Amino acid sequence: MGKPNICRLFLVLILSYLSDRANGRVNFKEIDAKLKQLNKPAVKTIQSEDGDIIDCVDIYKQPAFDNPTLKNHVIQVKPSFDIKEEKSSTENESSKLVISQTWQRSGSCPEGTIPIRRIRREDLLRVDSIDRFGRKPREIVSKSSTTNHSYSHFPLINNTNIIPPPLVNQSVAMLFTLGSNFIGAKGDINVWNPRLSSRSQEFTTAQIFVKSGPGDVFESLESGWTVFPNLYGDRRTRFFTHWTVNSYSSTGCFDLNCDGFVHTNPQIALGAAVEPVSTQRGEQYYIPLGIYMDPTSINWWLKYGDDTPTGYWPGTLFSFLNHSSTLVEWGGRLYSPNVKKPHHHTKAGMGSRHFASASYGKACFIRNIAIVDFSMALKYPDWVGTWADEFNCYSLYNDQQTSPVFYFGGPGRNPDCL
């Protein structure tokens, strides 16, 4: 590209910026107000090599305290329960624990503060709606489905095939269990960095869901890893949390982008890039994740790694998850406007981008899957079902031998998924 072309490009950019502004599409006042609300005054600031800025914020000035119902909340310093997490004897030595976050190489937060990933103006300029910044899209089920049911693997519950309504703009490959009294769930999630297509609205997750709720409105607590360029501004694999009390329609968010989650651990930042990631037939890395309700305080604790918990969702946020969970899911989701559309399927990957049948070393896995009930012991669920709604695009395989391992994922578009 010659110099005149570059000048012309600049001119076009400036003109389109000015016209956006004239049309009122970029409302800097609104953006600055949102930034002020999201970013709390820092005691110390850490510039991470990956471009993130981590603010160490006084633990009592974190976003949770903007929530009117948490105004007088006293922070619970540590859980009041002890879950016996026996190291499984079948631990595969060829897999390695990953709890490192890139920013940790550049410094640490002092006691009494928590690390918060700073949101920048450009992060808000990327999104369509500032109100919905940092949230999962609403979970909409399709009335007129174009899904080809012969491609789907629907759950069998007590020998009855359940056909869940197809979700719009997302594809799933999940293992799940139903019950009346789950108060915890865990799993070791294999870490990868799948490629997405260039479309910016797409994102992919490998995660655990703890859910409850009436009818088709659910409350959920979620954590895992994601690649989500539109939210984070890059294609790194990041540790995330999310919650909602109404199927993402008007409550909850990723990480600390709204008031709710109470963060307690000065060493772990929500939304931070994790490293290293697994490579095909190379080292396999995983994150041990657990979500456990404290039966005394009714707070739901999040554990990332084997040591100190990261923080908790206060039980007072919930109307159903203030007692127990009735549905737990493990696996992957791929969010894109270009799923379930014949001939235009996205090439975005779920898991490692390999199909589940590729198994260990190539396909993404979750293992040491367990739930907790009121006996406070971890155990594999009595009953599990699987659900993949575009099996030819994103598949699953629940390997039930010795200690069960759940594999899931796929490449999206391929000759069997157009």
Ligand X SMILES: *[C@@H]1O[C@H](CO)[C@@H](O)[C@H](O)[C@H]1NC(C)=O
Considering the rule CB under 6 A, would residue 144 count as an interface residue with ligand X? no
The CB-of-137 to ligand X minimum distance in angstroms stands at 5
Which range in 78-86, 110-118, 150-158, 347-355 contacts ligand X by CB under 6 A? 150-158
Q: Of 39, 44, 118, 151, which lies in the binding site for ligand X, with binding defined by CB under 6 A?
A: 151
332 touches 206 (CB < 8 A):
yes
Hey, which residues between 381 and 410 contact ligand X (CB under 6 A)? 383, 405
CB 324 within 8 A of CB 178: no
Rounded to an integer, what distance in angstroms lies between the CA atom of residue 341 and that of residue 145? 10
Applying CB under 6 A, among 97, 157, 217, 418 the residue interacting with ligand X is 157
Pick the closer one to ligand X by CB: 249 or 308.
Answer: 249
| Least distance in angstroms from the C-beta of 270 to ligand X | 25
Residue whose CB is less far from ligand X, 101 or 147: 147
Applying CB under 6 A, the span of 37-45, 135-143, 254-262, 270-278 interacting with ligand X comes to 135-143
How far is CA 23 from each of CA 97, 202, 223, 268, 383, rounded to the nearest angstrom? 50, 27, 38, 41, 56
The answer to whether residue 150 forms part of the interface with ligand X (CB under 6 A) is: yes
Binding segment for ligand X among 81-89, 137-145, 266-274, 304-312 (CB under 6 A)? 137-145
Is residue 217 near ligand X by the rule CB under 6 A? no
Choosing from 5, 23, 89, 94, the residue that interacts with ligand X (CB under 6 A) is 94
d(CA 38, CA 57): 12
Instruction: Tell which residue, 276, 265, 218, has the closest CA to residue 242.
Output: 218
Whole-angstrom distance, CA of residue 342 vs CA of residue 364: 26
Nearest approach, Cβ of residue 250 and ligand X (Å): 14
Rounded-to-integer distance, Cα 20 and Cα 28, Å: 11
If the CB atoms of residues 99 and 168 are measured against ligand X, the closer one turns out to be 168
Stretch that binds ligand X, among 108-116, 144-152, 255-263, 324-332 (CB under 6 A): 144-152
Count Cα neighbours of 233 within 13 Å in the Cβ-side half-sphere: 17
Alpha helices in 237-386 (DSSP H): none
- 97 lies in the binding site for ligand X (CB under 6 A): no
Q: In angstroms, what is the minimal distance from the CB of 156 to ligand X?
A: 10
Kindly tell me which of 273 and 317 has the beta carbon lying closer to ligand X.
317
Contacts of 168 (CB under 8 A, 6+ apart): 140, 141, 142, 340
Cβ neighbours of residue 15 closer than 8 Å, sequence gap 6 or more: none
Q: What is the DSSP letter of 8?
A: H
State which residue, 43 or 140, has the beta carbon closest to ligand X.
140
For ligand X, how many residues bind (rule: CB under 6 A)?
Answer: 21
Q: Does 137 bind ligand X (CB under 6 A)?
A: yes
239 forms beta bridges with: 225
- H-assigned helices in 49-189: 121-125
Stretch 288-347 residues interacting with ligand X (CB under 6 A): 319, 322-323, 337
Pairing of strands 184-190, 395-399: unpaired
Cβ-in-10-Å burial (0-12, 13-18, 19+) of 388 comes to buried
Q: Please state, in angstroms and as integers, the Cα–Cα distance from residue 75 to each residue in 78, 111, 139, 264, 311, following that order.
A: 9, 14, 32, 8, 10
Binding region for ligand X (CB under 6 A) out of 77-85, 103-111, 146-154, 240-248? 146-154
**Among residues 92, 230, 249, 297, the one that binds ligand X under rule CB under 6 A:** 92
Rank residues 65 and 286 by Cβ distance to ligand X and give the closer one.
286
The binder of ligand X chosen from 48, 104, 113, 169 (CB under 6 A): 169
Measured from the CB of residue 405, what is the shortest distance to ligand X in angstroms? 5
Q: Please select the residue that binds ligand X; options are 73, 276, 360, 376, rule is CB under 6 A.
A: 360
Residues 9 to 68 in contact with ligand X, rule: CB under 6 A: none
123-129 long-range CB contacts below 8 Å, 24 or more apart? 123/231, 123/232, 123/233, 124/31, 124/34, 124/35, 125/26, 125/31, 126/200, 126/230, 126/233, 127/230
Residues 176-195 that bind ligand X (CB under 6 A): 178
* Sites of contact with ligand X (CB under 6 A): 92, 94, 137-138, 140, 148, 150-151, 157-158, 168-169, 178, 201, 319, 322-323, 337, 360, 383, 405
